[in-house]
Structure 1
Amino acid sequence: MVVKMTLRAARVNAGMTLVASSKQLCVNKDTLSKYERDSSNIPRSLLVKIENLYNVNTNDIFFGNESEFFRIKRKVTEKV
């Protein structure tokens, strides 16, 4: 199983703060923070902007609840 990165990790890897990203994406910082915690309902139009801003393919991002991502990652790590 390939472990993807969270939306927050994609932002951090791009060297951006939450505030800077939210301004560039034209969304409130609280909204972006909410999407970083649970990206399962993020609008497609925002995904396109994120892909361009963070220079990452959306196929490499885990979409869902961030706590679920870490649960899956921990499970994969334990198997290794």
Structure 2
Amino acid sequence: MPTVLAWLEAADLPHDADAIVQVVGDRGIALVLVRGQSCGDRPVVTLIGAAAADLVGLVRRYRALRGWGPELDA
């Protein structure tokens, strides 16, 4: 999650979250930024196309550097 929050901050997008709910669809990724126990009235960041691919690439590189291995299919 710190990687995603840093990426959002660098892209000048909302980045004040305690947790992130990720919703992946055919066209991109939606990130619901949760604060405390609630996600009501919180921003949702939608990443489509190149922006979504950039974030996924960053997270994959971070995981590889940490030695966590590849992501598993759902």
TM-score (norm 2): 0.34
- How high is the TM-score relative to the length of structure 1? 0.33
Which one scores higher on RCO, CA 8 angstroms, separation ≥ 6?
Answer: 1
